[in-house]
Structure 1
């Protein structure tokens, strides 16, 4: 290969050449504006969307060829970040899952005031602080809303994740 041909090839790769996909770049820019805390780019080299979590202390890169796959993976990461952790919060996670199952299953319909933490603790077989961690998790995720001085209520299904 001659030097002129090699230079031409290098220039076409560096400038994007035929690999540039302006539609994918525009989609990545609109996704980044819609998902705060994420940097989303179209990588022509990988031929995939790459998402970097800008608010996480852990380095995380998600590469997906399709927009739907990327959004599904971002949703999984955000849900995992909002879920109570392991170890000491394992009981809070189980309590939150039990309460979520009652909400989704229709045992606790939308608009219903749920029992207080003192009343839920013996039912769920956990201590009061654990119930409060589970309740605050379900409130952050969107299943419950707390009205100060009134109580905690089940939100409508449209607010659920």
Structure 2
């Protein structure tokens, strides 16, 4: 299954370029990583093929917009959660904002599955959507820029290390 995702995804992104990366990042974050796409691998590996700056920014936008869908999902579950844990929800909301919520959002987006979990959580506690989106956008762009530039500077070294010969791609 993973091999088919890798090969099919690689062909899809190779054909669609930046739009393909945008869509892959959007799908991964909108589905809270339940639809497993190795977007980090693709951003890293396409960093040498596509412009790493554009790749990082466009992938970051795709991930950030997808996170808004996860946030909306969390808002939908708010009533269910509030019925059971209502007295804790307001306190959690206050504490989250009090203890540097923006930084927690940024850090969570650098952890696998963390971005999806924090997006749903922010939706449940009705964290300000504008502040959430700005924090997610900046962290997704930063994360994807790190990956794409890492790929840009290291893919040829890795290919040499593992003795792969892909001259048509690089």
Interval containing the TM-score (normalised by the shorter chain): under 0.3
Q: Which has the higher helix share?
A: 2
Higher relative contact order (CA 8 A, sep 6+): 2
Structure of higher CA gyration radius: 1
In the superposition, the TM-score normalised over structure 1's length comes to 0.26
In the superposition, the TM-score normalised over structure 2's length comes to 0.25
Q: Which has the higher strand share?
A: 1
